[in-house]
Structure 1
Amino acid sequence: MVTIRDVAKLANISVATVSRVLNAHPSISDKTRQAVLAAVEELGYYPNANAQALATQSSDTIGVVVTDVTDSFFAILVKAVDQVASAHQRNILIGIGYHNPEKEKQAIDLLLKKRCNALVVHSKALSDEILNEYLQRHPGMVIINRTIPGFEQRCIALDNEKGTYLATNTLINHGHKYIGYIGSNHQINDEIERKSGYLKALSDHDLPIMPHAIANSSPDYQGGEETMIKLLSYNSNLTAVVCYNDSMAAGALSILNENNIKVPQQFSLIGFDDMPLANYLVPKLTTIRYPIDLMATYAAELALSLVNKALASPENVTFNPTLVKRFSVKAI
């Protein structure tokens, strides 16, 4: 781990001078400041936020990295972290990754440079190896919606496969045999696991995987429309679909309505996540609840307890997907 002494050695100045530069002391010359900043950049050094917190008796910011703040899933995540932060008289800073490894790394690095010693990170694009390095260097970092080997106690994740297995099994128990799957086109574990749960349920019930019964697109309303059109174009006997998330389910529902296919009388639909949207569709959407609010609350409390030993660590919890029954599924 790079230390302030390494920076001082490379810049050929004292540790005390490096400290004054990093704290924007007005007595530092431009030449010295540039030398220190160049050394910091070359070494990839971040000021030790834990040490600073001890020195100032204050650590007032939690960093949050999400994929896209326009998605209600991440809005709920951020709100939950903010509520925990407020309860501890702290604020939050948000970084956005957009499913892009470089942007995710930039977001994490920026929050670290802003001296966030407690972080809740939702990262899907960065490799396990890179996240492993971050977790080793920054003890207050917690990963949500993913598990990094060796850091299971600082990772909060849901069994996505179990969720879509439950959804598919529900449709099978309602008499459906010709079931499609609408998935995300993002190459992330969530998509791999959710499709796996769908396929496993079909296999366990000895149901065939129909040709062209799986379609992928962007995990949003438009993607749901696009994939539902594909499934209807290829399959005349399809009676039900499991969707990657509620937004895609909403898009699929729109296409079914446009084609005068009544839900649930003629076609059944199950979403995933249980976003507020699901309760306002017509019919209200049966879906798999992803307890992201509870998971984010736990993640924020855990991150704070890791950087402040005066706070008790939250009791270890296992989060499970559950079926939320509404009105988009009917037996045939």
Structure 2
Amino acid sequence: MEKKTITIKEVAEYANVSQATVSRVINGQASVKEKNLVKVQQAIEALGYTPNLAAQALASSRSNSVGMLVGSLDGPFYGPLMHSAEDELYRAGLHFIVTSGQESEVKERDALNFLRSKQVDGAIVHSDKLSDDELKQFAHGFKALVVLNRFIPELDHQCLSLDNELGGYLATKNLLDNGHRHIACITGPLSKPDARDRLSGYIRALAEHNVAYDPRLTIEGRFDHEGNFVKAYDLLANAGTITAVFCQNDNIALAVYDACAKLNLTIGEDISLVSFDNDLMSSHMRPRLSTVGFPIYEMGKLAGKMIIDQLHEKQTLTSRKLVPQLVERDSVKNLNA
């Protein structure tokens, strides 16, 4: 027996809303009350309604899909970022396609070309390798675009980032306020703007406390785990007067914990530590890690909302910069006491 085709009318009757409301939900239009959106989504699931996507796209000149370019498909940063963005887009009836650039200029370019070939309505882009000029060219290929963690003046109202300079400043200031003056910094790759900005915040905090910046105390590491242990071990084995370290993310801090264990140094006593990101693991390390919180879920959610607003011509006039907060725990010794 041929399966019965469910119509929009039947979905509307089941949800007790108008057919126009059902149509707005299916087409991802924002002007739907929350309670009606939920009722329609429940009706669609209960009845097994499947929209005619080809006809829908042809009628609306939209694919009802949004693409996202990230650096990696796993890890404590990109995972929550993708999840929160998808939640926001799904609520608006939009499908989500994710691609990874894997820290390669060629792969990032291929990924954006792939999303453009799929005629996605919008793209959320976290690119480390492509130039501003190339991203500006790609912006013309999408109805909506949000660029994460960088600022491009010509796309200012489409940029969403964290104030990384302030984050580096807050982390270093916490150590300085606790009496530390010999503070090392293990950075992420300095080819990345967020690593450079966090380093600038470190240098600003030192200057405000009349502590001369010593470039010998700045060690370039990586935001992933690769190679950080060796660099942390070498730094601490020859620490001299160093009493504290600012780690530019929690992966780097984890390597410092391992190096301290190898050298029989006690964190929070022999060496103080402030990190960046506030990953889930930071509250479970011992001692618990003081760190600057990165509002990853908020960034993903806001990126999705910015895409939706652009698709409905509600563009913001300025770029958005999220404010980090210091989370104080147990990894810093107060030398003033």
Q: TM-score, normalised by structure 1?
A: 0.79
Residues 227-249 of structure 1: CA deviation (Å, up to 9, x unaligned): 21121233221111111111111
Contact 2:163–2:321, Cα closer than 8 Å, also in 1: no
Shifted more, 197-206 versus 54-63: the winner is: 54-63
Question: What is the aligned partner in structure 1 of residue 177 from structure 2?
Answer: 173
Shift of the 54–322 alpha-carbon distance from structure 1 to 2, 3 Å rule, reads farther
Contact 1:222–1:248, Cα closer than 8 Å, also in 2: no
Contact 2:67–2:120, Cα closer than 8 Å, also in 1: yes
What is the alpha-carbon root mean square deviation over aligned residues?
Answer: 2.1
Alpha-carbon distance in structure 2 between the residues aligned to 1:258 and 1:208: 30
Query: Is 1:134 the counterpart of 2:138 in the alignment?
Result: yes
Displacement of 1:327 in angstroms is 1.2
Contact 2:62–2:121, Cα closer than 8 Å, also in 1: no
Question: What is the aligned partner in structure 2 of residue 293 from structure 1?
Answer: 297
Alpha-carbon distance in structure 2 between the residues aligned to 1:124 and 1:198: 22
Question: What is the aligned partner in structure 2 of residue 120 from structure 1?
Answer: 124
Alpha-carbon distance in structure 2 between the residues aligned to 1:245 and 1:150: 30
Question: What is the aligned partner in structure 1 of residue 39 from structure 2?
Answer: none
Give the alignment partner of residue 236 of structure 1, picking from 232, 235, 240.
240
Alpha-carbon distance in structure 2 between the residues aligned to 1:135 and 1:89: 23
Query: Is 1:319 the counterpart of 2:328 in the alignment?
Result: no
Displacement of 1:114 in angstroms is 1.3
Give the alignment partner of residue 186 of structure 2, picking from 182, 187, 190.
182
Question: What is the aligned partner in structure 1 of residue 205 from structure 2?
Answer: 201
Question: What is the aligned partner in structure 2 of residue 331 from structure 1?
Answer: 334
The residue type equivalent to 2:158 in the other structure is: R
Identity of aligned residues (%): 29
Greater RCO structure (CA 8 Å; 6+ sep): 2
Alpha-carbon distance in structure 2 between the residues aligned to 1:300 and 1:101: 24
Shifted more, 216-225 versus 156-165: the winner is: 216-225
Contact 1:223–1:248, Cα closer than 8 Å, also in 2: no
Query: Is 1:80 the counterpart of 2:84 in the alignment?
Result: yes
Displacement of 1:139 in angstroms is 3.4
Give the alignment partner of residue 75 of structure 2, picking from 28, 48, 71.
71
Question: What is the aligned partner in structure 2 of residue 257 from structure 1?
Answer: 261
> Runs of 5+ in structure 2 lacking a partner?
1-55
Aligned residues: 280
Contact 2:65–2:121, Cα closer than 8 Å, also in 1: yes
Shifted more, 210-219 versus 89-98: the winner is: 210-219
The secondary structure found in structure 2 opposite 1:185 is coil
The residue type equivalent to 1:265 in the other structure is: E
The residue type equivalent to 1:184 in the other structure is: G
Residues 208-227 of structure 1: CA deviation (Å, up to 9, x unaligned): 23352111122223433122
Alpha-carbon distance in structure 2 between the residues aligned to 1:139 and 1:268: 48
Displacement of 1:314 in angstroms is 7.8
Q: TM-score, normalised by structure 2?
A: 0.78
Displacement of 1:57 in angstroms is 6.7
Alpha-carbon distance in structure 2 between the residues aligned to 1:137 and 1:91: 18
Residues 251-285 of structure 1: CA deviation (Å, up to 9, x unaligned): 11111122111110221111111111212211111
Query: Is 1:146 the counterpart of 2:147 in the alignment?
Result: no
